[in-house]
Chain A
Amino acid sequence: MTTHHLSEDLLLSYAAGNLAEGWSLAVATHVALCADCRKRLAVAEAAGGQLLETLERAPVEAGSWAAVRNRLGTPDPVAPVVQPKTAILPKPLRDYVGGDVDTIRWKALGKGAAQMRLKTGDGETQVRLLRIPAGKPVPEHSHRGRELTVVLSGAFHDGTTLFARGDIEDADDSIQHIPTATEDADCICLAVTESPLRFRSWVVRALQPILGI
């Protein structure tokens, strides 16, 4: 059972649809593994539905209904989604990896650690699966801005706090932290950070007035 949950701002931004795809993937992954946050998400989505009800209505085109009616056919029968018998990675994540943990194409990071980058359409996040060897810290752990980490297998300590399967850690760069896998097993997690490219563009913007460029 998960003990580290989604903050309200992540949950609401995800439900409202204004959270970038990379962060949304971390939210969807946690929610698949956490019944409590699914209940909270249902409230946030119900709020979206009720706010839709109270929006001022925009007039539709005169031929709108006719146009839609012409497109109403018999929907194709929904092809049953073929699900594996068991899975470590929740469905939203399997869609990005192309399968479960056994299909992850790991690239070595040194000292037994490895990563696989996942591609999203948002251009503002960097999304990776990380494998941290048992008892070892996360390698090359310098990130800027926010970082969301969801544990998929094994567990890690950050200071005295333990994060196990399904738990989400929501950290920013004001905290110096060194996640370290527990001794019993390698830890696989999903890590989402702000894209380094995006960060560099901030730095340039921030320096523009100073450098006069």
Chain B
Amino acid sequence: MSLEISVSREAWHKGFPLAVRPKRLPASKIRSNTGLMDVKTSTPPEPSMSDLLVRVGQSRDVEVFEELFRHFAPRVKAYMAKSGSANAAEELMQETMVSVWNKAAMYDPGKGAASTWIFSIARNLRIDAYRREKHPEYDENDPAFQPPQEPAADNKLEGEQSARIVRSALASLPPDQAEVLRLAYYEDNSQSEIAAALALPLGTVKSRMRLAFQKLRIELGQTGDAL
């Protein structure tokens, strides 16, 4: 699938005032990210995005939201463009970003990074728009909900912290495993479609996904579990 996604820095910045370019990132956040990130990507350090999202939720500050928009809008649009036209992708991106604004107060940085939270909003809108289906989800306030049996303090990583570990683990996956994950998450392919696209047996696709996922869990220290 080919997409028009290359863009010069100049063209990219055209719609945005200089004032909203990345700024005032706490030095500690920058330091904590370097060395873990895939060197090929030039994304701003992740922690600032979650901090910004929290601030939007608290203060409804449009300028702060503009920074989030500037960072996430082209990524969300690329995500949407994987399954539909550029027009539809633009519309769904705008829909996603308005939804991020509206729901920002519900964002909990302890549960996951801003990117994780925004990904799930975009994913649900994509399912609704392209497949006319719902994405049923659990609700923490549900009385039927089974709380964890272990104490909450047990090895609990902050959302941002675990996001950085996941990012570095993803960057170090063997290319064949990274490929099946990318196809599953972004091309909206079922595992049998991935198998067909790569001319691989379904079992191979499943085992690559399993290995990739296990690697992420090992890096996050989830290996002590029964699963």
Which residues of the other chain, B, contact A58 by a CB distance below 8 angstroms? 3-5, 7, 74-75, 77-78, 81, 86, 89
Choice from B41, B65, B77, B222 contacting A40 with Cβ under 8 Å:
B222
Cβ-defined contact, A57 with B74, below 8 A: yes
With A43-B222, A62-B14 as contacts: A55 and B75 at CB distance below 8 Å: yes
> Smallest Cβ distance from B79 to chain A, in angstroms?
6
Considering only CB atoms and an 8 Å cut-off, how many residues of chain B contact the other chain?
102
**Contact between A43 and B105, CB atoms less than 8 A apart:** no
- Is B55 on the interface with A (CB-CB < 8 A)? no
Bound state CA distance, A16 and B205, in angstroms?
Answer: 15
Q: For A47, what are the chain B residues with a Cβ–Cβ distance below 8 Å?
A: 166, 170, 181, 185, 213, 216
Q: Are B222 and A51 in contact (CB under 8 A)?
A: no
Instruction: Write the nearest CB–CB distance from B215 to chain A, whole angstroms.
Output: 10
Which residues of B are found within 8 Å of A60, using beta-carbon distances? Answer: 15, 73-74, 77, 90, 93
Most buried by A among B43, B69, B133: B133
Enumerate B131-166 residues with CB–CB distance to A below 8 Å. 131-139, 141-150, 159, 162-163, 166
- A-chain residues with CB within 8 Å of residue B227 when the two chains form the complex: 5, 36-37, 40
Distance in angstroms from A135 CB to nearest chain B CB is 26
Bound Cα distance from A1 to B226, whole angstroms: 12
Residue A207 lies at the interface, judged by CB distance under 8 Å to chain B: no
Residue contact B209 to A9, C-beta cutoff 8 Å: yes
* Complex CA–CA separation, A13 to B111 (angstroms): 20
Distance (Å) between the CB of A101 and the closest chain B CB?
10
**Other-chain contact of B206, A1, A9, A64 (Cβ < 8 Å):** A9
Q: Is A54 an interface residue (CB 8 A)?
A: yes
Residues of B within 8 Å of A54, CB to CB, are 38, 41, 43, 167, 170
- In the bound complex, CA of A107 to CA of B123 (Å): 35
Q: Is the CB of A45 within 8 A of B76?
A: no
Residue contact A50 to B136, C-beta cutoff 8 Å = no
Check A53 against B41 for contact (C-beta < 8 Å): yes
Q: Does B113 touch A at the CB level, under 8 Å?
A: yes
B-to-A contact residues, CB < 8 Å: 3-7, 11-12, 14-16, 38, 41, 43, 46, 60, 62, 65-66, 69-70, 72-79, 81, 86, 89-90, 93-94, 97-98, 101-103, 105-106, 111-120, 122-124, 126-127, 131-139, 141-150, 159, 162-163, 166-167, 170, 181-182, 184-186, 188-191, 206, 209-210, 213-214, 216-217, 220, 222, 225-227
Q: Which 6 A-B pairs have the closest CB atoms?
A: A49-B116, A57-B74, A49-B115, A35-B148, A32-B138, A92-B136
Known: A72-B62, A87-B142, A121-B134. 19 other contacts (CB 8 A): A1-B149, A9-B191, A9-B210, A12-B181, A12-B209, A32-B138, A38-B138, A43-B217, A46-B113, A46-B162, A50-B170, A54-B38, A58-B5, A65-B15, A65-B69, A68-B101, A69-B62, A120-B134, A122-B131
The residues of A with any CB-CB pair to B shorter than 8 Å are 1-2, 5, 8-9, 11-13, 16-21, 24-25, 27-29, 31-40, 42-65, 67-69, 71-72, 74-75, 78, 81, 83-93, 95-96, 120-122, 166
